Amino acid sequence: MKNILVIGGTGQIGSELIMKLRGIYGNENVVCGYIPAAPPKGILLESGPAEVVDITNPQQIADVVKKYNIDTIYNLAALLSAVAEAKPQLAWHIGVGGLFNTLEVAREHGCAVFTPSSIGSFGPTTPHVKTPQDTIQRPATIYGVTKVSGELLSDYYARRFGVDTRSVRFPGLISYTTPPGGGTTDYAVDIYYSAVKGEKFKCPLKPGTFMDMMYMPDALRAAIEIMEADPTRLVHRNSFNIASMSFDPEIIYNKIREYVPGFEMEYELDPLRQKIADSWPDSLDDSCARNEWDWKPEFDLDAMTQDMLVNLRKKLLVEAEMVEA
Ligand code: SER
């Protein structure tokens, strides 16, 4: 990878992935592709090139690929699961139409493509515990339908046209830089904000709702390592189960209370999110990723919680100081 375009560059994953990629491959070699409604700011804007790339506009993708001689595209444009249920047509247009546009540009210009899939690509009939790599994928959400379609389309482009497509199935991602929006796993980010702000947390999911989760530094490493992996070892491509921790609301709440003793939580269920979460696996088996490209997570719930609390406190303090100044 030398010249990289990140589409959806200002979102939860993109805003951090770009900074990590710039650190590895050079600031000038990583382009932040964004939509005008979400322009890059601060260090993301100042540290390297940025261009408007709406994934639903194939010409914009092609123009930026040509201008910067792009050889690798990270396609991070998507609507998350809960918001996608409110806008299913748009979710398909971005998730599948956008991926098709990206793959076509990649086919013409010889680019490798990373497109994340998700725990949301599984459904109610999937084995829920230690979900295998190759198993039933009949999701009940439009988000999941776009993710399974994306896995199939990406494998098709690899087989039919030789496009170097690779992917991982991300668990819920927990981070403090850019908040997620409209996902089912977002509660596991929001709960840290409440803890640091000293607020009572209203949990939208009931106790016993287990889902796979991952701390952002591990997710970023996975996205980079899969694209750097030796292709001769890859039996799978789109998409690899990856995992690091699985918990329910009670477990994460009690972990945070170890560090924030007075922290309180109450349940205020969101029926849509509960239904989606109930259809997803409790935990994934990531042994194929471990065998085929040496995937290994570094953060468990305890290490993540300590790091989240320290960094979120710093971030909220800086933001408060900026408001005062
Ligand atoms: N975090 C996503 C969501 O909750 C799942 O991949 O929609």
Local confidence band at 320 (pLDDT 50, 70, 90 cut-offs): confident
3-class secondary structure for 14-72?
HHHHHHHHHHHHCHHHEEEEECCCCCCCHHHHHCCCEEECCCCCHHHHHHHHHHCCCCE
253 is catalytic: no
pLDDT at 1 over 70: no
Predicted local confidence at residue 324, as pLDDT? 75
Look up residue 98 and give its two tokens: 């956008």
pLDDT in tens, 101-135: 999 999 999 999 999 999 999 999 999 999 999 99
pLDDT in tens, 221-237: 999 999 999 999 999 99
Distance CA 190, CA 123 (A): 25
- pLDDT mean over 186-196: 97
Catalytic hit among 34, 74, 143, 253: 143
Ligand 1, atom 1: closest residue by C-alpha: 172
Which residue from 117, 141, 143, 212 has its CB within 8 A of the most atoms of ligand 1, so it is best to mutate? 143
Predicted local confidence at residue 162, as pLDDT? 98
Predicted local confidence at residue 2, as pLDDT? 87
Task: Report the percent of the chain where pLDDT is more than 90.
Answer: 96
How do strand 117-118 and strand 72-75 relate by DSSP bridges? unpaired
Separation of 182 CA from ligand 1 center, angstroms?
Answer: 8
Distance CA 239, CA 293 (A): 13
pLDDT at 325 over 80: no
Note the pTM of the prediction, 2 decimals. Answer: 0.96
Separation of 19 CA from ligand 1 center, angstroms?
Answer: 22
Distance CA 176, CA 171 (A): 16
Separation of 28 CA from ligand 1 center, angstroms?
Answer: 31
pLDDT at 33 over 90: yes
Q: Which residues does ligand 1 sit against, CB inside 6 Å?
A: 80-81, 118-120, 143, 170, 172, 183-185
Task: Report the percent of the chain where pLDDT is more than 70.
Answer: 99
Local confidence band at 180 (pLDDT 50, 70, 90 cut-offs): confident
Separation of 183 CA from ligand 1 center, angstroms?
Answer: 5
Give the mean pLDDT of the chain. Answer: 97
Local confidence band at 323 (pLDDT 50, 70, 90 cut-offs): confident
Predicted local confidence at residue 181, as pLDDT? 84
